[in-house]
Chain A
Amino acid sequence: MTGLFVAIGTVVVAVALGSVVRVLSGRVRGSAGQVPAAVREVLDPAAAVTLVQLSTEYCAGCKQARVVLTGLARDTAGLAHADLDLTHRPELAGELRVSRTPTTIAVTASGTELLRVGGVPKREELLTSLRPHLAG
Protein backbone atom coordinates (compact mmCIF):
# COMPACT_ATOMS: atom_id res chain seq x y z
CA MET A 1 0.00 0.00 0.00
CA THR A 2 2.89 2.34 0.85
CA GLY A 3 4.18 1.93 -2.70
CA LEU A 4 0.91 3.15 -4.18
CA PHE A 5 1.03 6.28 -2.01
CA VAL A 6 4.65 6.85 -3.05
CA ALA A 7 3.57 6.56 -6.69
CA ILE A 8 0.70 9.03 -6.26
CA GLY A 9 2.90 11.42 -4.28
CA THR A 10 5.62 11.26 -6.95
CA VAL A 11 3.17 12.09 -9.73
CA VAL A 12 1.76 15.01 -7.70
CA VAL A 13 5.27 16.38 -7.07
CA ALA A 14 6.16 15.91 -10.76
CA VAL A 15 3.06 17.85 -11.84
CA ALA A 16 3.97 20.69 -9.47
CA LEU A 17 7.60 20.68 -10.62
CA GLY A 18 6.63 20.55 -14.28
CA SER A 19 4.27 23.51 -13.84
CA VAL A 20 6.94 25.58 -12.09
CA VAL A 21 9.50 24.76 -14.79
CA ARG A 22 6.99 25.68 -17.49
CA VAL A 23 6.40 29.08 -15.89
CA LEU A 24 10.07 29.89 -15.23
CA SER A 25 11.49 28.49 -18.45
CA GLY A 26 12.39 31.08 -21.07
CA ARG A 27 12.08 34.01 -18.64
CA VAL A 28 14.66 36.79 -18.70
CA ARG A 29 16.64 37.28 -15.49
CA GLY A 30 18.89 40.22 -14.82
CA SER A 31 22.55 39.47 -14.12
CA ALA A 32 25.83 41.29 -13.89
CA GLY A 33 29.60 40.86 -13.93
CA GLN A 34 32.35 40.16 -16.44
CA VAL A 35 32.28 36.88 -18.35
CA PRO A 36 35.30 34.54 -18.33
CA ALA A 37 37.85 34.69 -21.16
CA ALA A 38 36.48 31.50 -22.73
CA VAL A 39 33.19 33.31 -23.30
CA ARG A 40 34.83 36.55 -24.44
CA GLU A 41 36.51 34.57 -27.24
CA VAL A 42 33.20 33.79 -28.93
CA LEU A 43 31.81 37.35 -28.80
CA ASP A 44 31.21 39.15 -32.07
CA PRO A 45 33.33 42.35 -31.79
CA ALA A 46 31.17 44.07 -34.41
CA ALA A 47 27.94 43.54 -32.45
CA ALA A 48 26.84 45.61 -29.46
CA VAL A 49 25.45 42.50 -27.79
CA THR A 50 26.16 38.82 -28.42
CA LEU A 51 23.67 36.20 -27.31
CA VAL A 52 25.91 33.39 -26.11
CA GLN A 53 23.96 30.15 -26.12
CA LEU A 54 25.37 27.55 -23.74
CA SER A 55 24.62 24.10 -25.11
CA THR A 56 25.56 20.47 -24.65
CA GLU A 57 25.20 17.43 -26.87
CA TYR A 58 22.59 16.09 -24.47
CA CYS A 59 20.39 19.15 -24.43
CA ALA A 60 16.78 18.69 -25.43
CA GLY A 61 15.83 22.36 -25.98
CA CYS A 62 19.03 23.62 -27.60
CA LYS A 63 17.78 23.14 -31.12
CA GLN A 64 14.68 25.26 -30.50
CA ALA A 65 16.74 27.87 -28.65
CA ARG A 66 19.12 28.04 -31.62
CA VAL A 67 16.22 28.68 -34.00
CA VAL A 68 14.88 31.52 -31.79
CA LEU A 69 18.29 33.13 -31.22
CA THR A 70 19.69 32.93 -34.76
CA GLY A 71 16.41 34.37 -36.04
CA LEU A 72 16.51 37.20 -33.52
CA ALA A 73 20.18 37.97 -34.28
CA ARG A 74 19.48 37.98 -38.02
CA ASP A 75 16.54 40.39 -37.69
CA THR A 76 18.09 42.77 -35.16
CA ALA A 77 20.89 45.24 -35.89
CA GLY A 78 23.79 45.10 -33.43
CA LEU A 79 22.85 41.65 -32.16
CA ALA A 80 24.85 38.47 -32.77
CA HIS A 81 24.46 34.82 -31.77
CA ALA A 82 27.20 32.44 -30.69
CA ASP A 83 27.06 28.87 -29.54
CA LEU A 84 29.29 27.55 -26.77
CA ASP A 85 29.38 23.80 -26.21
CA LEU A 86 29.83 22.89 -22.54
CA THR A 87 29.64 19.12 -23.05
CA HIS A 88 33.31 18.61 -22.23
CA ARG A 89 33.87 21.78 -20.22
CA PRO A 90 32.43 21.21 -16.74
CA GLU A 91 34.83 23.77 -15.25
CA LEU A 92 33.47 26.52 -17.47
CA ALA A 93 29.91 25.46 -16.62
CA GLY A 94 30.85 25.76 -12.96
CA GLU A 95 32.50 29.13 -13.44
CA LEU A 96 29.42 30.44 -15.24
CA ARG A 97 27.14 28.85 -12.63
CA VAL A 98 24.90 27.26 -15.25
CA SER A 99 23.10 24.13 -14.19
CA ARG A 100 20.84 23.62 -17.20
CA THR A 101 21.02 23.92 -20.94
CA PRO A 102 20.08 25.78 -22.95
CA THR A 103 21.07 28.83 -20.97
CA THR A 104 21.54 32.03 -22.94
CA ILE A 105 23.62 34.92 -21.65
CA ALA A 106 23.55 38.33 -23.31
CA VAL A 107 27.03 39.86 -23.27
CA THR A 108 28.21 43.28 -24.45
CA ALA A 109 31.21 43.54 -26.80
CA SER A 110 33.34 44.50 -23.77
CA GLY A 111 32.41 41.33 -21.94
CA THR A 112 29.79 42.52 -19.46
CA GLU A 113 26.93 40.13 -18.84
CA LEU A 114 23.54 41.84 -19.11
CA LEU A 115 21.00 39.11 -18.54
CA ARG A 116 20.43 35.42 -18.82
CA VAL A 117 17.65 33.11 -19.89
CA GLY A 118 17.26 29.49 -18.76
CA GLY A 119 15.40 27.24 -21.19
CA VAL A 120 14.18 28.16 -24.66
CA PRO A 121 14.02 31.99 -24.76
CA LYS A 122 10.78 33.80 -25.55
CA ARG A 123 11.63 35.99 -28.52
CA GLU A 124 9.57 39.10 -27.73
CA GLU A 125 10.41 39.20 -24.02
CA LEU A 126 14.12 38.84 -24.79
CA LEU A 127 14.04 41.53 -27.46
CA THR A 128 12.26 43.96 -25.11
CA SER A 129 14.91 43.41 -22.43
CA LEU A 130 17.74 43.87 -24.94
CA ARG A 131 16.43 47.07 -26.59
CA PRO A 132 18.00 49.54 -24.10
CA HIS A 133 21.43 48.01 -24.78
CA LEU A 134 21.12 48.07 -28.56
CA ALA A 135 20.19 51.74 -29.06
CA GLY A 136 22.71 53.95 -30.82
Chain B
Amino acid sequence: MPNSATRVQPQVDPRGPRFAAWVTSVVLVVVLATGWWPLLAAQAVVFAIGGFIGLRPAPYAALFRLLVAPRLAPTTEREDAAPVRFAQSVGFGFALVGVLGYALAVPALGMVATAFALAAAFLNAAFGFCLGCEAYLLINRLSNTLRKVGTAR
Protein backbone atom coordinates (compact mmCIF):
# COMPACT_ATOMS: atom_id res chain seq x y z
CA MET B 1 0.00 0.00 0.00
CA PRO B 2 1.53 3.34 -0.91
CA ASN B 3 1.78 5.68 2.03
CA SER B 4 3.85 8.62 3.10
CA ALA B 5 6.22 6.34 5.04
CA THR B 6 7.64 4.99 1.81
CA ARG B 7 7.68 8.31 0.00
CA VAL B 8 11.12 9.89 -0.20
CA GLN B 9 11.09 13.51 0.90
CA PRO B 10 13.86 16.08 1.15
CA GLN B 11 15.22 16.08 4.70
CA VAL B 12 16.78 18.76 6.89
CA ASP B 13 18.66 18.97 10.20
CA PRO B 14 15.78 19.88 12.58
CA ARG B 15 18.00 22.38 14.41
CA GLY B 16 18.14 24.53 11.25
CA PRO B 17 14.44 25.48 11.17
CA ARG B 18 14.52 25.88 14.95
CA PHE B 19 17.38 28.39 14.64
CA ALA B 20 15.54 30.14 11.80
CA ALA B 21 12.46 30.40 14.03
CA TRP B 22 14.49 32.17 16.74
CA VAL B 23 15.91 34.65 14.23
CA THR B 24 12.41 35.20 12.81
CA SER B 25 11.01 35.79 16.33
CA VAL B 26 13.64 38.44 17.08
CA VAL B 27 13.05 40.15 13.73
CA LEU B 28 9.28 40.23 14.28
CA VAL B 29 9.62 41.60 17.83
CA VAL B 30 11.78 44.41 16.42
CA VAL B 31 9.17 45.06 13.70
CA LEU B 32 6.40 45.31 16.29
CA ALA B 33 8.43 47.46 18.68
CA THR B 34 9.58 49.92 16.01
CA GLY B 35 6.81 49.69 13.41
CA TRP B 36 9.59 49.83 10.80
CA TRP B 37 7.85 47.94 8.04
CA PRO B 38 10.75 47.62 5.54
CA LEU B 39 12.17 45.06 7.97
CA LEU B 40 8.88 43.15 7.79
CA ALA B 41 9.08 43.33 3.99
CA ALA B 42 12.56 41.79 4.18
CA GLN B 43 11.20 39.05 6.44
CA ALA B 44 8.41 38.45 3.90
CA VAL B 45 11.07 37.88 1.24
CA VAL B 46 12.86 35.46 3.57
CA PHE B 47 9.57 33.55 4.10
CA ALA B 48 8.91 33.53 0.35
CA ILE B 49 12.33 32.05 -0.48
CA GLY B 50 11.89 29.27 2.11
CA GLY B 51 8.30 28.61 1.16
CA PHE B 52 8.33 28.86 -2.61
CA ILE B 53 11.93 28.23 -3.70
CA GLY B 54 13.49 25.94 -1.10
CA LEU B 55 15.17 25.77 2.28
CA ARG B 56 18.67 25.56 0.84
CA PRO B 57 18.71 29.15 -0.50
CA ALA B 58 16.70 30.44 2.50
CA PRO B 59 18.81 33.14 4.21
CA TYR B 60 18.46 31.90 7.82
CA ALA B 61 19.17 28.34 6.74
CA ALA B 62 22.35 29.57 5.03
CA LEU B 63 23.25 31.46 8.22
CA PHE B 64 22.71 28.25 10.19
CA ARG B 65 24.95 26.24 7.87
CA LEU B 66 27.72 28.84 7.85
CA LEU B 67 27.78 30.00 11.47
CA VAL B 68 25.89 27.61 13.72
CA ALA B 69 26.13 24.08 12.35
CA PRO B 70 29.97 24.01 12.37
CA ARG B 71 29.87 24.70 16.14
CA LEU B 72 27.35 21.95 16.90
CA ALA B 73 27.90 18.23 17.04
CA PRO B 74 26.71 16.63 13.81
CA THR B 75 23.39 14.83 14.05
CA THR B 76 21.84 12.06 12.03
CA GLU B 77 18.39 13.28 13.07
CA ARG B 78 16.38 14.50 10.10
CA GLU B 79 12.95 15.98 9.56
CA ASP B 80 10.93 16.41 6.38
CA ALA B 81 11.36 19.70 4.57
CA ALA B 82 7.75 19.85 3.28
CA PRO B 83 6.05 20.91 6.56
CA VAL B 84 8.74 23.53 7.19
CA ARG B 85 8.28 24.96 3.71
CA PHE B 86 4.52 24.98 4.05
CA ALA B 87 4.79 26.88 7.34
CA GLN B 88 7.13 29.39 5.67
CA SER B 89 4.54 30.06 2.97
CA VAL B 90 1.88 30.62 5.66
CA GLY B 91 4.31 33.03 7.33
CA PHE B 92 4.70 34.81 4.01
CA GLY B 93 0.93 35.35 3.86
CA PHE B 94 0.86 36.98 7.29
CA ALA B 95 3.98 39.06 6.63
CA LEU B 96 2.48 40.29 3.36
CA VAL B 97 -0.74 41.38 5.08
CA GLY B 98 1.40 43.02 7.77
CA VAL B 99 3.45 44.97 5.24
CA LEU B 100 0.27 46.15 3.51
CA GLY B 101 -1.18 47.19 6.86
CA TYR B 102 1.82 49.28 7.86
CA ALA B 103 2.45 50.68 4.38
CA LEU B 104 -1.19 51.68 3.84
CA ALA B 105 -1.28 53.39 7.25
CA VAL B 106 -3.50 50.79 8.92
CA PRO B 107 -1.03 50.03 11.74
CA ALA B 108 -3.57 47.89 13.65
CA LEU B 109 -3.73 45.46 10.73
CA GLY B 110 0.06 45.48 10.45
CA MET B 111 0.44 44.73 14.15
CA VAL B 112 -2.16 41.95 14.26
CA ALA B 113 -0.72 40.15 11.22
CA THR B 114 2.82 40.53 12.56
CA ALA B 115 1.69 39.30 16.00
CA PHE B 116 0.25 36.12 14.45
CA ALA B 117 3.51 35.49 12.59
CA LEU B 118 5.45 36.14 15.81
CA ALA B 119 3.27 33.72 17.79
CA ALA B 120 3.86 30.99 15.20
CA ALA B 121 7.61 31.63 15.00
CA PHE B 122 7.94 31.72 18.78
CA LEU B 123 5.96 28.50 19.26
CA ASN B 124 8.28 26.82 16.79
CA ALA B 125 11.44 28.25 18.39
CA ALA B 126 10.57 27.64 22.04
CA PHE B 127 8.35 24.55 21.85
CA GLY B 128 9.25 22.95 18.51
CA PHE B 129 5.54 23.28 17.71
CA CYS B 130 4.83 24.08 14.06
CA LEU B 131 1.63 26.15 14.06
CA GLY B 132 1.67 26.55 10.27
CA CYS B 133 1.86 22.76 9.86
CA GLU B 134 -0.98 22.24 12.35
CA ALA B 135 -3.06 24.72 10.42
CA TYR B 136 -2.71 22.79 7.15
CA LEU B 137 -5.91 20.75 7.55
CA LEU B 138 -7.85 23.85 8.57
CA ILE B 139 -6.51 25.91 5.64
CA ASN B 140 -7.15 23.03 3.25
CA ARG B 141 -10.73 22.60 4.47
CA LEU B 142 -11.36 26.32 4.25
CA SER B 143 -9.97 26.64 0.72
CA ASN B 144 -11.95 23.57 -0.31
CA THR B 145 -15.15 25.13 0.99
CA LEU B 146 -14.35 28.38 -0.79
CA ARG B 147 -13.67 26.49 -4.01
CA LYS B 148 -17.07 24.81 -3.72
CA VAL B 149 -18.76 28.14 -3.12
CA GLY B 150 -16.94 29.43 -6.20
CA THR B 151 -18.12 26.62 -8.48
CA ALA B 152 -21.69 26.81 -7.18
CA ARG B 153 -22.02 30.32 -8.47
Contacts and interface: CB of A to CB of B under 8 A. Distances in A.
A57 B118 CA distance: 24
Contacts of A58: 82-83, 86-87, 133, 136
A56 B32 CA distance: 33
B151 interface: no
Contact of A3 (B80, B111, B137, B144): B111
A100 to B, nearest CB: 5
Contact of B3 (A3, A11, A85, A100): A85
A13 B136 contact: no
**Interface footprint category on A:** 35 or more
B123 interface: yes
Contacts, number: 105
Interface residues of B, number: 39
Given A3-B32, A57-B4, A18 B137 contact: no
B47 interface: no
13 contacts: A7-B118, A11-B122, A14-B122, A15-B126, A18-B123, A22-B129, A56-B140, A57-B9, A57-B83, A60-B83, A83-B4, A90-B140, A98-B137
Interface of B: 1, 3-5, 9, 28-29, 31-35, 79-80, 82-84, 86-87, 111, 114-115, 118-119, 122-123, 126-127, 129-130, 133-134, 136-138, 140-141, 143-144
Interface of A: 2-4, 6-7, 9-11, 13-15, 17-18, 21-22, 42, 55-60, 62-63, 66, 83, 85-87, 90-91, 93-94, 98-101
